[in-house]
């Protein structure tokens, strides 16, 4: 995509909207300062298919003007389908309006559609309309694109069903007969107005639009929720990601760091093992339900689940207890233990191979080898020992085993820490308390206040 073509389009937009001559200047600034990875000047943007092409520019440089507004007009002129993924639904509405207005200035009839979850369309419309500004989308434009009504409420036979309508929560694909006509064989059916309902107008428009604007979250986890033909048959399970990647020639992701963070948040999974003061944690509920089902599960299942549940509860509850009562954690500067989770605490692997480097006496700049990492992992219960390990590892291992054993009293960890402090003195070039704390903590668990998660 040559910058010269973008500059021509930007100049045409400036001419069509007198008093707003900033677009051509923004493109010229891009053309003058854009550099390739090797430092050579760039006279065009590489749009070849393949890995992600990253463009970095400081805030206020004009990325949205060049890579959203002007680029969308260039794509429409060249018959290229492009999708923009932006941070929030408010940005989706704003950019869609901005692109549509720019295309109208150039006389283009390319279709632009904001794409968001049908369940949140009315909520976004209400929020955006309440914050309308003279320079952004007006309330009429917002409601014409996002507003809809539910025909089911007009066809309802009970006042309660009419009054209970909640926008976004309509039973579009889960309708069932009324209580008087319901039978065991009754199955859920779809709303007869589903294919023409305004709730799904954005999803239908996205199947043919030349320019799509959606949010990071919707791109990663959204579904169209309306029947479409995906080439293998009609289905309502098509994801937004599939639609975008199959239809778009170019995908532009704004704020890629935010997109990456959203992807990690959506992909991450966690389980609360224990929390101080709570008795309704998932692990305790599992223990209660498992006890109530005694005698109704297979023998091998009973043995495996009982062992796993007992071991996990013991370790997680002891771990939280040690944190709450200060048995784990760097020593306080005075005798009084600070209240709350404000005390500094070193978590294993919080910094890359920190504890491994200290145990092997490496300098701050010396890299940790794979062999040293393997030896470090061998310290913990269940891992095989290695013949080349340092002699001190054999002395550390019994103390670590005692920490997770259910034999000693809970306060035995204080004595174990004292022994580790003495053992590691002179070996680790930092405070022994900090190192023994890290050694005593399970390496795969994370600490947040008095909470244990895995």
pLDDT at 439 over 70: no
pLDDT of residue 432: 44
* CB-side neighbour CA atoms (13 Å) of 265: 10
pLDDT of residue 185: 64
DSSP secondary-structure letter at 334?
S
Helices vs strands, H then E, count in the chain:
20, 9
pLDDT in tens, 63-79: 888 889 999 999 999 99
Q: Can you state the percent helix, strand and coil of the chain, rounding each to 5? A: 45, 10, 45
Confidence of residue 159 (pLDDT cuts 50, 70, 90): low
Q: What is the mean pLDDT of residues 163-172?
A: 80
Q: Domain ranges in the chain?
A: 3-148+190-265, 273-453
% of residues, the chain, pLDDT over 70:
82
Who wins on pLDDT, 377 or 89?
89
Q: pTM for this structure?
A: 0.66
pLDDT of residue 184: 55
pLDDT of residue 428: 53
Task: Work out the mean pLDDT of the chain and round it to a whole number.
Answer: 82
pLDDT in tens, 269-301: 788 899 988 888 999 999 999 999 998 988 888
Q: Which two tokens stand for residue 32?
A: 């003058």
pLDDT of residue 19: 66
pLDDT in tens, 299-319: 888 888 988 998 899 889 888
pLDDT of residue 168: 84
pLDDT of residue 341: 45
Residue with tokens 């498992």: 290
pLDDT of residue 269: 75
Mean pLDDT lowest among 125-129, 240-244, 348-352: 348-352
Q: What is the mean pLDDT of residues 313-334?
A: 76
Cα 330 from Cα 322, distance rounded (Å):
12
Q: What is the mean pLDDT of residues 154-169?
A: 70
Confidence of residue 406 (pLDDT cuts 50, 70, 90): low
Q: Which residues contact 128 (CB under 8 A, 6 or more apart)?
A: 89, 90, 93, 137, 142, 146
Angle between helices 391-403 and 412-424 in degrees, nearest 10: 170
Q: Exposed/middle/buried for 125, CB within 10 Å: 0-12, 13-18, 19+?
A: buried
Who wins on pLDDT, 159 or 165?
165
Residue with tokens 């033909």: 229
Who wins on pLDDT, 360 or 339?
360
pLDDT at 338 over 60: no
Residue with tokens 């994370």: 446
% of residues, the chain, pLDDT over 90:
32
Cα 439 from Cα 171, distance rounded (Å):
54
pLDDT of residue 91: 94
- What SS3 class is residue 396? helix
Cα 305 from Cα 285, distance rounded (Å):
13
Who wins on pLDDT, 199 or 366?
199
Confidence of residue 405 (pLDDT cuts 50, 70, 90): confident
Confidence of residue 447 (pLDDT cuts 50, 70, 90): very low
pLDDT of residue 343: 45
pLDDT of residue 179: 62
pLDDT of residue 113: 97
pLDDT of residue 9: 93
Mean pLDDT lowest among 92-101, 153-162, 306-315: 153-162
pLDDT in tens, 423-437: 877 655 444 444 555
pLDDT in tens, 13-61: 998 886 667 888 888 888 888 888 788 888 888 888 888 888 888 777 8
């Amino acid at each position: 995509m040559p910058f010269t073509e973008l500059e021509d389009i930007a100049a045409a937009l400036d001419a069509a909207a007198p008093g707003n001559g900033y677009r051509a200047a923004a493109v010229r600034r891009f053309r003058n300062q854009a550099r390739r990875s090797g430092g050579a000047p760039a006279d065009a943007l590489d749009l070849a298919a393949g890995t992600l092409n990253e463009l970095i520019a400081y805030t206020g440089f004009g990325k949205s003007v060049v890579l959203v507004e002007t680029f969308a007009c260039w794509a429409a002129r060249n018959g290229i389908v492009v999708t923009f993924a932006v941070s929030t639904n408010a940005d989706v509405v704003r950019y869609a309006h901005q692109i549509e207005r720019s295309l109208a200035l150039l006389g283009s009839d390319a279709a632009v559609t904001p794409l968001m979850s049908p369940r949140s369309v009315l909520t976004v419309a209400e929020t955006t309309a309440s914050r309308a500004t003279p320079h952004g989308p007006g309330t009429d434009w917002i409601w014409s694109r996002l507003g809809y009504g539910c025909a089911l409420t007009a066809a309802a036979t009970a006042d309660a069903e009419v009054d209970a309508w909640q926008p976004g929560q309509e039973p579009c694909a889960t309708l069932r007969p009324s209580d008087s006509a319901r039978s065991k064989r009754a199955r859920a059916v779809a709303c007869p107005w589903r294919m023409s309902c305004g709730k799904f107008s954005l999803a239908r428009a996205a199947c043919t639009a030349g320019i799509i604007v959606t949010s990071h979250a919707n791109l990663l986890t959204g579904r169209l929720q309306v029947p479409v033909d995906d080439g293998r048959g009609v289905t309502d399970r098509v994801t937004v990601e599939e639609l975008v990647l199959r239809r778009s020639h170019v995908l532009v992701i704004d704020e890629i760091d935010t997109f990456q963070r959203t992807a990690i948040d959506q992909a991450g999974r966690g389980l609360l093992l224990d929390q101080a003061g709570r008795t309704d944690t998932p692990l305790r509920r599992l223990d209660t339900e498992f006890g109530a089902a005694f005698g109704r599960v297979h023998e091998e299942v009973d043995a495996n689940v009982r062992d796993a549940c007992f071991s996990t509860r013991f370790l997680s509850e002891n771990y939280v207890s040690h944190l709450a009562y200060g048995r784990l954690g760097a020593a306080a500067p005075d005798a009084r233990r600070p209240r709350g989770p404000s005390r500094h605490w070193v978590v294993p692997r919080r910094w890359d191979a920190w504890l491994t480097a200290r145990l092997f006496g490496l300098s701050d700049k010396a890299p940790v080898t794979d062999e040293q990492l393997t030896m470090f992992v061998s310290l913990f219960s269940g891992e095989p020992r290695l013949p080349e390990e340092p002699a001190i590892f054999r002395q550390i291992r019994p103390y670590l085993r005692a920490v997770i054993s259910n034999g000693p009293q809970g306060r035995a960890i204080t004595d174990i820490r004292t022994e580790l402090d003495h053992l590691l003195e002179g070996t680790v070039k930092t405070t022994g308390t900090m190192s023994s704390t890290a050694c005593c903590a399970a390496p795969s668990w994370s600490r947040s206040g008095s909470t244990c998660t895995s």
